[in-house]
Structures are given as structure tokens and as C-alpha cells.
Amino acid sequence: MSWRIRVVHTTGYVYDAPVTRSFNEARLTPRADSRQNVILNRVETVPATRSYRYTDYWGTAVTAFDLHAPHTELEVTGASVVETEPFAGPAEELSWEQLRNERLADRFDEMLAPTEYVPRDRKLASVAKQLSKGVPPAKAVVRVAEWVHQEMEYITGTTSVHTSAVQAFADRQGVCQDYAHLTLVLLRGMGIPSRYVSGYLHPHPGAEIGATVAGQSHAWIEAWTGAWWGYDPTNNIAINEQHVSVGVGRDYADVPPLKGIFSGGGSTDLEVVVEITRLA
């Protein structure tokens, strides 16, 4: 069953001294793909700015804008209406032998290589080897996500956006970003191309139409076993109509909702509010 969802993501910055210039990128535009249809999207700022859009290397829509007048506050709002479909299952399922040939390894090199957030780890490599035994790659993806879900405890505040998968796993605690990064470590250790997905999740499967609820940014993974498909290790569920995907990349560093640089000013206060409404 398809859903129509409205997402309003507002980020507010307050600086303790005027910022004279700032250059920013916002990744707040949902993806248009076989599972999602973007009906409406706009990204607005206060103070108002002139912006331009482009698609980055990984295929994520970016709204870039800059401010050259002194300001002590900045508010960025991304508003979207999206139609979503439930996950239909992997489109194709290759064998391990097919997946590990040199041509595919070269094609997906960037989605197999370690990163700062998704480093190689000897202990986790051993876990990956055990989890891949006796099942084809697509089943191994689900097995890995289930293992991560069982091993980790979801606790906010125990990690930050700079925490790597190995650091989070050492404490067995974290949030969706850490669950996704840890899943990527294991999948890449198996030789399965995999990527990080940022987006939103409506928290209620039986959401009332027209009711607006507090939401938050969410993260999950997509694996390539013949085609790209997604799974949510935080909730141990297949991607469904509650998920709205925005960006993809090697890890969180490729898809932050907002990033930028500024001159002048000083320390900042940050407030993020996400509101999600099921429209149909």
C-alpha cells in the first residue's frame, strides 16, 4: 500500500556574534526512484538567499546557498511531499561467485572500500565470515542486519556524528547512524557492495491520516546483490512506505542534511525540528 507523506525539516542556528559570510549545502530533497515519487519539494532560508541545485557524485540532490550580509541567526527549512511504496524484495539475487568477480569489484570499489566511519576491523571481519556461511548474499544482508539489531542497544547521546562503527560497537550502544555504519562494515567485509542511506521514518505503522507527529532524520543501508535494495537494521525491518530516502553515499560524511563554513561569529546554538504527516 502506498503512502503520501509530508516532511518538514527545520534547522535553526543562533550565533553569539554576527556571521559576515557563510557558504552552505543542504541535502533535504527526497530521491525520486522506483519506490518514491517526489510531488513537491522546496528548500527555504531565513534570511532569504539565492540558491542553486545540483546532483552530487553519489546521486543526491543538493541545494547550495551563501550569505554575504551579517547575520546572527540562520534558519533552513526543507519541505517535501512524497509518495512511497513498500519494499518488494531484491530485484535480482546473485551468487557469491557471481558477486565476487573482478569486474564487479572494480565497478563497486567505492562501496566496498573502508572509510573513516566504516573502517576495517579484524574482529568484525571474523563475524562477517560466520554470518555469510550457508546462505546466498541477499539472505546474508538480512542476517547481518538482524545481528546488528540484536547486538546493539539504541541509546541517544552515547555517540556523536563523528563516531565510527568500531567505536560504537565497542560499547554496543548508539543510534541509527551507528547501526547503519556497523552493518556496512560487515557487508563490505563479505564483499557485498553497500551504501549508507539518509532520510526519514514515520514512527507509526498505522499512522492516522492528517495527523502531524514529531519525527527525526533516520539512516539505513542499501546493498547490491544484482540490484540495489534497502534494509533498516535499527528496526530490523525491510524498507517500507514509512521510509523516505534522501541521500546515499559511502557513509554519513557523504550525506549530512546541512554542512557549510562561515566567517565571523562564534559558538552556535542548534535546533532541529522534523514534522511528518501522512496525507494519504
- For the stretch 235-272, pLDDT in tens is 999 999 999 999 999 999 999 999 999 998 776 788 99
The full length of the chain comes to: 280
Q: Domains (ranges, CATH) in the chain?
A: 3-85+256-278 (2.60.40.2250), 96-254 (3.10.620.30)
**Angle of helix 122-132 versus helix 137-151 axis, rounded to 10:** 130
Q: In whole angstroms, what is the distance from residue 7 CA to residue 20 CA?
A: 31
Q: Which of 88-92, 97-101, 135-139 has the lowest mean pLDDT?
A: 88-92
- CB–CB of 252/181 below 8 Å? yes
- Report residue 95 as a C-alpha cell: 551468487
User: Has residue 93 got a pLDDT over 90?
Assistant: no
Q: In whole angstroms, what is the distance from residue 257 CA to residue 29 CA?
A: 9
> Residue type at 200?
Y
- CB–CB of 165/152 below 8 Å? no
Q: Which of 87-96, 100-109, 138-147 has the lowest mean pLDDT?
A: 87-96
- CB–CB of 93/225 below 8 Å? yes
| pLDDT digits 0-9 by tens, 160-219 | 999 999 999 999 999 999 999 999 999 999 999 999 999 999 999 999 999 999 988 999
Cα→Cα distances 140→87, 97, 194, Å: 17, 14, 12
Q: What is the pLDDT of residue 134?
A: 96
Q: Which of 14-23, 41-50, 187-196 has the lowest mean pLDDT?
A: 14-23
The CB-based long-range contact list for 189-192 (8 Å cut-off, 24+ gap) reads 189/120, 189/124, 189/125, 189/128, 189/129, 190/128, 190/129, 190/131, 190/132, 190/137, 190/140, 190/144, 191/96, 191/99, 191/100, 191/105, 191/112, 192/99, 192/137, 192/140, 192/141, 192/223, 192/224, 192/225
Task: Give the pLDDT mean for 37-56.
Answer: 97
- Report residue 107 as a C-alpha cell: 565497478
